A and B are shown apart, each in its own frame.
Chain A
Amino acid sequence: MRINDVILRTVVRFVVFIILTLAIYLFFAGHYSPGGGFIGGLVIASAFVLLYVTFDIEKVKKGIPVDFKKVAALGVFLAVGTGFGSVLFGVDFLTQAAKKFHIPLLGEKELGTVMLFELGVALTVVGVVMTIIVSIAEGDGD
């Protein structure tokens, strides 16, 4: 007999988006207030874990058709890429640059290559945490 967990499923459907929003906030706020790529990544991962706990693995895989190993690899690649990117401009490895842009609706905002580096960190964290948890969950205990 299956346990009827309709309450859990309903709550999770809302809560996941709240968590993801918080994660994106933490990620973008990182440069000025507590947060950043690492914590942002961990929180995104926790949202996914919550999905895995509530729904079965096959279903989540269909909903999020991502290979998390590739996400981790992409993250490291991005971080190294920003490092080499600065070399292309004739400055030292991993020198970060920033520039103020005028963005409609948001006004004057500063965008920098630091964001790309942070994105690399966040993607790595998400990829690694999910790889570990998914592979342990799938590995049949024998």
Chain B
Amino acid sequence: MQLWMIFLPVIAALFMPLLFKKIKLHTGWFVLIVPVVLVSYYASKIGDRATYASWTWVADLQLKIDSSLDGLGLLFSILITGIGALVVLYSIFYLDKTKEQLHNFYMYLLLFMTAMLGVVQSDNVMSLYLFWELTSISSFLLIGYWFTRDASRFGALKSMMITVFGGLLMLGGFLILANITGTMSISEMLLHTTEIKESPYFTLAAILVLLGALTKSAQFPFYIWLPDAMEAPTPVSAYLHSATMVKAGIYLVARFTPIFAYSTTWIWLIVILGLITLFWGSFFATKQRDLKGILAFSTVSQLGMIMSMLGVAAMSYHVDGNAENVFKYAGFAALFHLINHATFKGALFMIAGIIDHETGTRDIRKLGGLMSLMPISFTVAMITSLSMAGLPPFNGFLSKELFFTTMLSAQDFSWSTVAVLIPVVAWLASVFTFVYCLYFVTGIFFGKRHELPKKPHEAPIGMLISPLVLASFVVVLFFIPNVVTDALIKPAVLAIQPNQFLTVGDIDIHISMWHGFNTELLMTIGVVVVGFGLFMTVKHWRKVYSLVPEWFSLNQLYRRMMRLADEDMTKVSKRYMTGSIRTYFIYMFAAIVIIVVSTLFMKDGYAFDTAHASDIGAFDIALVVVLVLGTLTVLFARTRLTAIIALGVVGYSVAMFFVLFNAPDLALTQLSIETVSVALFLLAFYHLPKLSRHEARLPFRLGNFVIALAVGVMVTLMALASQSQKLLPSISEYYKETVYKEAGGGNIVNVILVDYRGFDTLFEITVLAIAGMAIFGMIKLRRKKGADKNEIK
């Protein structure tokens, strides 16, 4: 049941083309059933013990598809299916059945839903990775949904490149963990934390897994894909790129905290990168002109915030006793803000989509004064923006206070005074968050009304249902936070900080709306005052953004790297892939010489010993002289005819060597074969075209000379070394003894050829036959001039 629930969306996806083509009703209504069923199923599990279901895929490799519904998995599953239901409902009114290929859209979306449920419920690292890449692929398909637009394809490719890069590194981290512990199961890995801690690869594994999380969750410096992913349809942006997929990285960090929290590298990387992302995203959100651009940078910033809180949660693994209480809030706060962010950011994206749909533009400079025309959208946008800014009476306020608590406590862990900067940066980032929240709302709804591509009016009610539901959550969560936290968050905290809490009952955190006048409240008041001041003077300091030159940005770095991988690498390839066989021969011969000669001397394999050498007779010397003279003639011949005849001389003198060294069979064969090949050479020479019959010496090329000399020296060295150290007696004694007794023959060469090793001969004659057929084919089956180019007739 539990496993079937994961695969329910992808099974439903199979019916989409049929539903789209055969039934007139908007396909989304059928899709809606799936997340509604799922969310009610997962809601019914609230309060239960963690349940586990597993299906073994490849038993020998420990590959399993698991579903482990503990607190953390359940929290994310409810988030995915709940927001999924709202997004599907919204998309029914957003996408027009007559204009869009809806079956594609919903198939991708349902595929994504399965992938995401698989990620958050997998207990097995391999199935986690499988589903992880499935989210990358379905996200790629959804971003490129309007594939006729260049920007969509660019955004899809960029997100694919970055998230798959991280995913592959994460796989490396998983494999290291599996290698250390001998298990693929995450829950079993938790039992081996001491082994993991002591492994020399511990930090490497932590960094690799973290890279997967950072790329997926759009953290600094990998956030650059998220703004470009805004080319997707708005329901996709609302679902994937604000509420669910970008939180997969958060999930991963939370899930692996009990394993990696012992590494301080892990902690500081998360905290510092989270804070940089938080500040960077909020600072650059105000620069954006596009509504979805603002929201994308805002998402980046908020994810950084959650990430940094998870980093602080990991600090609790390094302290004992009372000091642990300081970090008690961190994991809790992170998950609480995760839920809050999903609610308000989902709604904000839907509002941005409504504005786009009803006015025809998303450019904030063209918008303005829509308050009286779109009152409901305005209300929703106002509520959710203020929640994002962290003001009461909305849920963002509560999580922002908890965030400040967390960041202040991080100082207590510090080993240096630099840690004082942590709350300062957090506070500054909150100020900018406040600024862009105001910028977003006032830019759309206040001020003067401009000329718009469409005549603006309030959106249809169906489109407003989902943002209204989310906005009501924003308010409700402020007033009754503890109901939600008790049901969902506390069981999930157990997964992050099992060192502090054993059961849900141990977590004695109670959120109160009013917690007295303390540092956190003062910080919030400061945020409002300073943020308001900055917002009023935005025109004066906006120039700051243009201080950074255009070429000095991460996007440019990405482009540069893509160009490096594509154009520059092509240039490099063209530099050495010249297409000239001469060049390739130089590479091959140089490689052979370098490998052989260096091995010969590095392994001390060279020896020179004349003990077994035979005497040299006068015939030998005479033949060698002929051979060398023949060879030199081939090299220095002025005409090709001379070279061919000199080659014949070389061949015949080799035959004479065979005679001299008692090899009559070889001599006979060599003589006849040399005759045939010289005849063939002459034939080829005769048919040379008149124009290219260069009657000139081979030109001298230094490179060729050096390579040829090196190859000659190498072969000589090899021959001398192997002649000088024969370690084993020759096998030929056996042949001598048995050639008559067992094989019934006298000619040892021939008996070896046809009896002892007839197998070789069999294939040599086959080679000969194939060569003959090939020559026949080349000559006889030539295409006639002017004949049809198509060979098959």
A interface with B by C-beta (< 8 Å): 26, 30-39, 42-43, 46, 69, 72-73, 75-76, 79-80, 83, 93-94, 96, 98, 110, 112, 114, 117-118, 120-121, 124-125, 127-129, 131-132, 135-136, 138-139, 141
Determine the distance from Cα of A26 to Cα of B779 in the docked complex, in whole angstroms.
Answer: 32
How far does the Cβ of A113 sit from chain B's closest Cβ, in whole Å?
A: 10
CB-CB under 8 A for A132 and B775, given A42-B672, A96-B754, A124-B768:
yes
Q: A39-B672, A129-B772, A135-B776 are in contact. List 16 more A-B contacts (CB 8 A).
A: A31-B744, A34-B749, A36-B749, A38-B753, A42-B676, A72-B772, A79-B762, A83-B758, A93-B759, A96-B743, A110-B744, A117-B758, A121-B761, A121-B765, A132-B776, A135-B780
Name A42's closest neighbour in chain B (CB-CB): B672
| Contact between chains at A46 and B672 (CB < 8 Å) | yes
| Given A120-B765, A124-B768: A35 and B758 interface contact (C-beta under 8 Å) | no
For the complex formed, measure the closest distance between the CB of B41 and the CB atoms of chain A, giving whole angstroms: 65
Q: Complex: how many Å from CA A94 to CA B762?
A: 9
* Binary A-proximity of B763-784 (CB < 8 A = 1, otherwise 0): 0011011011101100110000
Residue B414, interface by CB 8 Å: no
A136 to B679, CA, bound (A): 12
Are B765 and A79 in contact, CB atoms less than 8 angstroms apart?
yes
Could you show 22 A-B contacts with beta carbons less than 8 Å apart?
A31-B745, A31-B751, A32-B746, A34-B749, A35-B665, A36-B665, A36-B747, A37-B754, A42-B673, A72-B772, A73-B769, A96-B743, A96-B755, A96-B758, A114-B744, A121-B754, A124-B765, A127-B769, A128-B769, A129-B676, A131-B772, A135-B780
Chain B's closest residue to A118 (CB) is B754
Q: CB distance B747 to A32 under 8 Å?
A: yes
Q: Is the CB of B766 within 8 A of A117?
A: no
Is B780 a contact partner of A32 (Cβ separation < 8 A)? no
Decide if B595 is an interface residue (CB 8 Å cutoff). no
Whether the pair A112, B665 counts as a contact (CB closer than 8 A) is no
Chain B residues whose CB sits within 8 angstroms of the CB of A136 once the complex forms = 680, 683, 775, 779
What is the CA–CA distance of A132 and B780 in the complex, to the nearest angstrom?
11
Nearest A residue to B740, CB-CB:
A32
Are the C-beta atoms of B744 and A141 separated by less than 8 Å?
A: no
Residue of A nearest to B780 (CB): A135
Query: In the assembled complex, which residues on chain A have CB atoms less than 8 Å from the CB atom of B465?
Result: none
Determine if B750 is an interface residue (Cβ-Cβ < 8 Å). yes
When chains A and B are docked, how far (Å) is the Cα of A118 from the Cα of B743? 14
State in angstroms the CA–CA spacing of A34 and B754 once bound together.
Answer: 14
- CB contacts (< 8 Å) of A36 on chain B: these are 665, 747, 749-750, 753-754
A31 close to B665 (CB less than 8 A): no
Complex Cα distance, B779 from A69, in Å, reads 14
* Count, A-B residue pairs, CB within 8 A: 118
Interface residue? B577 (CB, 8 A): no
Contact among B686, B743, B750, B769 with A72 in the assembled complex (CB-CB below 8 Å): B769
CA distance A16 to B768 in the complex (A): 25
B779 touches A135 (CB 8 A): yes
A138 — which chain B residues lie within 8 A by C-beta?
779
How far does the alpha carbon of A112 sit from the alpha carbon of B676 in the complex, in Å? Answer: 32
B533 proximal to A (CB < 8 A) = no
B765 engages A125 (CB within 8 Å) = yes
CB pair B765 A34 closer than 8 Å: no
Collect the chain A residues with CB atoms within 8 Å of residue B771's CB.
Answer: 128, 132
User: How many Å lie between the Cα of A33 and that of B751 in the bound state?
Assistant: 10
Q: C-beta contact mask, B557-571 vs A, less than 8 Å → 1, else 0?
A: 000000000000000
On chain B, the residues within 8 Å of A43 by CB distance are: 672
Residues of A contacting B766 in the complex (Cβ-Cβ under 8 angstroms): 76
Bound complex: CA A7 to CA B665 (Å): 33
- Measured CB to CB, the residues of B under 8 A from A are 664-665, 668-669, 672-673, 676, 680, 683, 686-687, 743-747, 749-751, 753-755, 758-759, 761-762, 765-766, 768-769, 771-773, 775-776, 779-780
B746 & A69 in contact (Cβ 8 Å cutoff): no
Which of B665, B759, B769 is A124 in contact with, Cβ under 8 Å? Answer: B769
Contact partner of B762 among A31, A39, A80, A135, CB < 8 A? A80
A34:B747 contact, CB within 8 angstroms: yes
Q: Which residues of B contact A117 (CB under 8 A)?
A: 754, 758, 761
Q: For residue B676, which residues in chain A have a CB less than 8 angstroms away from its CB?
A: 42, 129
On whether the beta carbons of A31 and B776 are closer than 8 Å, the reply is no
A118 to B771, CA, bound (A): 20
A131 touches B773 (CB 8 A): yes
Contacts of B749 in A (CB 8 A): 34, 36
Specify which chain B residues have a CB less than 8 angstroms from the CB of A46 in the assembled complex: 672
Nearest B residue to A94, CB-CB? B758
Most A C-beta atoms less than 10 A away, residue of B673, B676, B686: B676
Central interface residue in B747, B768, B771, B780, by most chain A CB within 10 Å: B768
Rounded to whole angstroms, the CA-CA distance of A42 and B664 in the bound complex is 15
- By the criterion CB–CB under 8 Å, are B772 and A39 in contact? no
Residues of B within 8 A of A38 (CB): 669, 753
**Does B665 lie within 8 Å of A39, measured CB to CB?**
yes
Supposing A69-B773, A76-B765, A135-B780 touch, asked if A112 and B744 sit within 8 A by C-beta, the answer is yes
For the complex, what is the distance from the CA of A37 to the CA of B676, rounded to whole Å?
17
Q: Is the CB of B775 within 8 A of A131?
A: yes
Task: State how many angstroms separate the Cβ of B579 from the closest Cβ of chain A.
Answer: 28
Minimal beta-carbon separation of A41 from chain B (angstroms): 9
Give A82's nearest chain B residue, CB to CB: B758
Assembled-state Cα–Cα distance A136/B782 (Å): 13
Give the complex CA separation of A121 and B762 in angstroms. Answer: 8
Please state if A39 and B746 are interface contacts (CB–CB under 8 Å): no
Give A94 Cβ to nearest chain B Cβ, in Å: 5
In the bound assembly, the distance between CA atoms of A98 and B664 in angstroms comes to 25
> Within the complex, which residue of B753, B768, B773 is in contact with A125, where a contact is CB–CB below 8 Å?
B768
B387 to chain A minimum Cβ distance, whole angstroms, is 82
Q: Name the B residues within 8 Å of A96 (CB-CB).
A: 743, 754-755, 758
- A19 to chain B minimum Cβ distance, whole angstroms, is 12
Whether B769 lies near A139 (C-beta < 8 A) is no
With the chains together, A34 CA to B673 CA distance in Å?
A: 16
In the assembly, what is the distance between CA of A46 and CA of B679, in Å?
13
- A69-B772, A124-B769, A136-B683 given as contacts; is B744 within 8 A of A34 (CB)? no
Question: Closest approach, in angstroms, between the C-beta of B571 and any C-beta of chain A?
Answer: 42
Return the 10 tightest CB-CB contacts between A and B, nearest first: A32-B746, A128-B772, A34-B664, A139-B779, A124-B765, A31-B745, A36-B750, A131-B772, A42-B672, A94-B758
| B489: min CB distance to chain A, Å | 74
Of B664, B745, B754, the contact of A32 (CB 8 Å cutoff): B745
Residues of B within 8 A of A120 (CB): 765
Asked whether B765 lies within 8 Å of A31 as measured between CB atoms, the reply is no
A142 to B751, CA, bound (A): 45
> What CA separation (Å) do A83 and B669 show in the bound complex?
25
Q: By the criterion CB–CB under 8 Å, are A132 and B772 in contact?
A: yes
Cβ–Cβ < 8 Å partners of B745 in chain A: 31-32, 114
Contact (A31, B750) CB under 8 Å given A83-B762, A96-B755, A110-B744: yes
In the complex the two chains form, what is the Cα distance from A83 to B771 in whole Å?
A: 22
Which residue on A lies nearest to B667, using beta carbons? Answer: A34
For the complex, what is the distance from the CA of A135 to the CA of B743, rounded to whole Å? 39
Q: What is the minimal beta-carbon distance from A49 to any residue of chain B, in angstroms? A: 9
Chain B residues near A30 (CB, 8 Å)? Answer: 747, 750
- A residues in contact with B751, CB < 8 Å: 31
By beta carbon, the residue of chain A nearest B675 is A46
Q: Which of B664, B744, B750 has the most C-beta atoms of chain A within 10 angstroms of its own C-beta? A: B750
Bound CA–CA A21/B759 (angstroms): 29
A33 touches B776 (CB 8 A): no
Which residues of chain A have C-beta atoms less than 8 A from B668's C-beta?
26, 34-35, 39
Q: Kindly list chain B residues whose C-beta atoms are within 8 Å of the C-beta of A132.
A: 771-772, 775-776
Complex contacts, A31 vs chain B, CB 8 Å: 744-747, 750-751
Task: Report the nearest A residue to B668, measured CB to CB.
Answer: A39
A93 to chain B, nearest CB (A): 8
